[in-house]
A and B are shown apart, each in its own frame.
Chain A
Amino acid sequence: MNKKIGVYICHCGGNISDYVDVEKVRQSVEKDEGVFLSKTTMFACADSNQQEMVDDIKAQDLDGIVVASCSPKLHLVTFRAVAERAGLNKYNYVHANIREQVSWAHSDNKPGATEKAIQIVKSAIAKARNAETLEPVKVESVKAVAVIGAGVAGMRAAIELAEAGSEVFLVEREFFVGGRVSQWDELCITPETGKELVTRLYDEVMKHKHVTLFTGAELSEQTGSVGNFSLKVKITPRHFKLQCAEGSLQKAIEVCPVEVPDEFNFNITTRKAIYHNYPSEYPQLPAIDMKNCTRCGECEKVCSSIDFSQKEEAINLKVGSILLATGFDPYEPKQGEFGYGEIDDVVTLPQFKRIVHYCKDKLTYKGKEVKNIAYIYCVGSRQVDGENKYCSRYCCTSNIHTAITVKKKYKNIHNFHFNRGIRTYGKAEVWYEESSRLGDIYLQSFEHDPPVVERREGQTFVKIKDLLTSNKELEVAADLVVLVTGMVPRKDNSIGSLLKIPKGRDKFFNEIHMKLRPVETVIDGVTIAGASQGPKNIMESMNSALAAATKSFSLVASGELALEPTVAKVDRAACTWCGKCAEACPFNAIDMVGGNGNSVAHVNSSVCKGCGMCLPVCPENALELIGLSDVDMENMIDALIPTA
């Protein structure tokens, strides 16, 4: 029980004192039990006042502090720090909000506001009387990080973590690294190809002895918490011992009778069951896709490196942090969306890029030469009626860059951009400029009046009411219609459910705070990077990968973590283990211990966030929050009820 509490009532320069009689508040609480000192102050957060508080605590040997001021979101940490500077445990500080909850909310009723402020301060004093000294929970942290996804973001993060001194396990679901970027040719702004970028990162990854790369590998189980995650990784075999002898791989691919749509080329071509996406791909070892392989055995006859005896393996990893860089999928238009799937001349931007990759001197599609190309923007993004309200950020730039490439690579190309406002932000603006100078035609409409793709007289037309031509109805006879599709979360995003990563309204993984904590998730120890978090271009993915790597490293760097002590606590004598608390816990922090009729709940304090969801569901009232116990609550409620 604290007997010497200091109470400070803040004017907030008039924000509070214009409506609340702060002196009356001070007088009303100065005689309260345990209050040793009470003051009003113009700005409690001012350096001079903070120093005065430190001096008061030291000189008067105060054992509890209450500041009645603004929201704790603004200054809780400030005043906790004041307590610590004066040598007082920070949990002996209690914050009372009389600005957002009183003066600003009740500016029309000054006496009422003052009355409410008095009660709020009294209740804070009641809590301060019972405040305990708490120490942070210390847990051991394994100096290793699992990076999920070996695209450019994952590889960049892995390199950074390894250089900082962490052990890194780089886990890739596909048989090959590079992700989406390996599918692009020349990139925007830097004249490099996606493959070159991937190669550079892969070479660096391989140089580091602290990075272990797993391909064909998928996370299947996760237990533990920040500092100490246990992961089970399932590894699908490639069925190749080593690289085939020169020529015999080509033969093995030739003899394979299976043909399936090639996802690497967005299904515009087919591939065999034994495959690699392109000759110099990493790791430079082909793989057999056993989902489609018929085990006819033809390939074995021409290539001795093929080994069908390889079995699926499961390995266990211990890591202190997990970094997710699982990327995105391109939006797949619905059947009939701008003629997609119904009119032959309609393709998506990713497909178009692959078509351009394969066409050398003449741009052809399905045997027909292409000269007039209509690009329809914001397909699958900025939807009015659909779910994807967001802008996918990369598509305007990527499409304009592709249109320029096409115009320079082939003769007599005419580009028509059916857009809803071009967003080639930042340095990419120069490409918009170049495309215009090259004679590309831009036509614009609002979201409610999208362009229409139709087929008549053996020709595909795109029609629009063009904003830039005073809403005149215009049409283009197009040889090819390119739907500039945006980014959506991975179709198979089961890793998010496995790790319980919350998703935003856009269905991408969600960070804690967009601006202040942009790479952390509410699951302690799990960080997110790249386009798994939302649409990003390569530059932005690299930024977030480096940020996530730094954040993950900070969790494993010292081998030890200090966590908030304000977590749930089980009264083992009262608990009868009904399991309701474990069900209610959003963080999987509660499990059962004991057994044989003596089972009780156990709270993993490094996972628990102190949210209190488990408390009201317990039929035995066997759970309590440290730092906000039932007694604390009751005392505060009592203080809130006017005694008169």
Chain B
Amino acid sequence: MARINPEFTDELKKYGAFDPNACYNCGNCTAVCTLSDEDNSFPRKMVRYSVLGLESEIQASLDPWLCYYCGECSSTCPREANPGELMMSLRRWLTAKYDWTGFSGLLYKSLIASITGFLLLALVVILFGFSMEFRMNDLLHYGHYFEVGAIALVASIILLPNIVRMWYQTVKKPGSNAGLKTYFKCFGELVVHMFTQKRALGCDDNQLRWFEHLVLVLGYLSLLFTTVFLDWFSTGSDFIIFLGYFESALIFVVTFDFVRRRIQKDQEVSKHSHPSDWFFVIWLFFMGLFSFMVRLFIDLNILEQNMWLYILQLIVLVQWALLIVPFGKWTHFLYRSFAMYFQKIKLSAS
């Protein structure tokens, strides 16, 4: 027996722009969705659960992560209820629910909190640079340490526990009794979807968006590898230097296109931008651009005179690694692929 909670939509509205009162249950959204199937029928069911405030049902569901937001449901909704954006809001809400620290919810709901966080981190970086007297070699050195340390800490303290919480809410608690063997058998699903987002190809009009996204993911991950493990900023290898240029260029070119679309709002998917969406694409763009410029300044031997650029790059990097990656939209990268994995496990076990 589920208890109806009409206050829930007020809470959910803080996570996105949709109109829960507009829906009259016609089901057009589900009918038009190319990803919806018998096992996972959405978005109507999620719209209804949201309207009725069935929180535990929503928390136990993987459906929001199985939607790749082509926006077809929103553009065909006869009542302009915006189901696509509702699914997006649910992803944000779920992110907040999975996060044990509670920062996700705070940052999603409050723009002021987000800006304060970004400013505080910028201040810390500037103060740090000041304490190092803006010496280039020291800063580059510590910057590299920070990257390695941040990855290890964020992954082990925040992301891993949150994934476990997601697993508990969506697999364990709803009563799946999958054995260890199933977990191994389905593991390939996680890897494939994490790196390719293959499922997104199921969206009708999505080939270009999928390709751009693939380029971005591969560019981002390889740039991460190039800077952290191949030490791009200090390397002498021409190949690695070129590789870094190429990867960072890919990132800012693709994200530039993403930002352009969000400004032009020419597609359903880019019509509604939550602050967290802007932070994600703009910071990624800055990351690509600034690291490209930093390496360029190193090659031109003018970085020492222009330490502001490196500080700027470091600020963006720190904000990205400590806010956007653990608490922001970056987590979708993880949750989406784990959702595909968990979904496969649940289906195999039942």
Contacts and interface: CB of A to CB of B under 8 A. Distances in A.
Contacts of A463: 1
A468 B2 contact: no
B21 interface: yes
Contacts of B6: 372, 414, 416, 439, 441
B224 to A, nearest CB: 43
A469 B21 contact: no
A469 B1 CA distance: 12
Given A439-B9, A441-B51, A441-B52, A472 B22 contact: no
Interface string A436-448: 1111011000000
Interface string A473-485: 1111100000000
B45 A470 contact: yes
B48 A438 contact: no
A235 B238 CA distance: 114
A477 to B, nearest CB: 7
Interface string A408-444: 0000001010000000000000000000111101100
A436 B21 contact: yes
A436 B1 contact: no
A439, A470, A477: which has the most chain B beta carbons within 10 Å? A439
Contacts of A441: 4, 6, 51-52
Contacts of B9: 439
B7 to A, nearest CB: 8
B24 interface: yes
B49 interface: yes
B4 to A, nearest CB: 5
Contact of A474 (B2, B21, B24, B45): B2
Nearest to A415: B6
Interface string B34-56: 00000000000100110110100
Contacts of A469: 45, 48-49, 52
Interface in A494-531: none
Nearest to A433: B24
Contacts of A436: 21-22, 24
B3 interface: yes
Contacts of A472: 2
A424 to B, nearest CB: 13
A438 B21 contact: yes
B25 interface: yes
B1 A475 contact: yes
B305 to A, nearest CB: 61
A469 B49 CA distance: 8
A463 to B, nearest CB: 7
A588 to B, nearest CB: 55
B23 to A, nearest CB: 8
Q: How large is the interface on B (under 10, 10 to 19, 20 to 34, 35 or more residues)?
A: 10 to 19
A475 B4 contact: yes
Contacts of B24: 436
Interface in B1-33: 1-4, 6, 9, 20-22, 24-25
A468 B6 CA distance: 16
A416 B4 contact: yes
Contacts of A439: 6, 9, 20-21
A463 B4 CA distance: 10
B31 to A, nearest CB: 15
Contacts of B52: 441, 469, 474
A468 B51 CA distance: 11
Contacts of B2: 472-475
A469 B3 CA distance: 13
A414 to B, nearest CB: 4
Contacts of A474: 1-4, 52, 54
Contacts of B4: 416, 441, 474-476
Nearest to B57: A472
A7 B165 CA distance: 94
A475 B3 CA distance: 5
A474 B54 CA distance: 9
Interface string B329-343: 000000000000000
Contacts of A473: 1-2
A568 to B, nearest CB: 61
Contacts of A477: 3
Contacts of B1: 463, 473-475
A438, A469, A474, A476: which has the most chain B beta carbons within 10 Å? A469
A473 B2 CA distance: 6
A436, A441, A473: which has the most chain B beta carbons within 10 Å? A441
A414 B9 CA distance: 12
A439 B52 CA distance: 10
Contacts of B21: 436-439
Interface string A326-349: 000000000000000000000000
Nearest to B25: A468
Interface string B96-118: 00000000000000000000000
Contact of B22 (A437, A468, A475): A437
A578 B9 CA distance: 80
B66 to A, nearest CB: 17
B43 to A, nearest CB: 14
A474 B24 CA distance: 18
A403 to B, nearest CB: 13
A414 B52 CA distance: 12
A402 to B, nearest CB: 18
Given A436-B24, A437-B22, A468 B3 contact: no
A458 to B, nearest CB: 16
Contacts of B22: 436-437
B2, B20, B52: which has the most chain A beta carbons within 10 Å? B52
B77 to A, nearest CB: 14
Contacts of A437: 21-22
B21, B49, B54: which has the most chain A beta carbons within 10 Å? B21
A474 B5 CA distance: 10
Contacts of B3: 474-477
Nearest to B7: A414
Nearest to B21: A439
A213 to B, nearest CB: 47
A468 B3 CA distance: 15
A416 to B, nearest CB: 7
A467 to B, nearest CB: 9
A182 B296 CA distance: 85
A191 B150 CA distance: 65
Contacts of B48: 468-469
Nearest to A413: B6
A442 B22 CA distance: 12
B159 to A, nearest CB: 33
Contacts of A416: 4, 6
A564 B45 CA distance: 66
A416 B51 CA distance: 12
A481 to B, nearest CB: 14
18 contacts: A372-B6, A416-B4, A416-B6, A436-B21, A439-B6, A439-B21, A441-B6, A441-B51, A463-B1, A468-B48, A469-B48, A469-B52, A472-B2, A473-B2, A474-B54, A475-B2, A475-B3, A475-B4
Given A439-B21, A472-B2, 15 more contacts: A436-B22, A436-B24, A437-B22, A439-B9, A463-B1, A468-B48, A469-B48, A469-B52, A470-B45, A473-B2, A474-B1, A474-B3, A474-B4, A474-B54, A477-B3
Interface of B: 1-4, 6, 9, 20-22, 24-25, 45, 48-49, 51-52, 54
A-B interface, 5 closest residue pairs, ranked by CB to CB distance from nearest: A414-B6, A439-B21, A468-B25, A476-B4, A473-B1
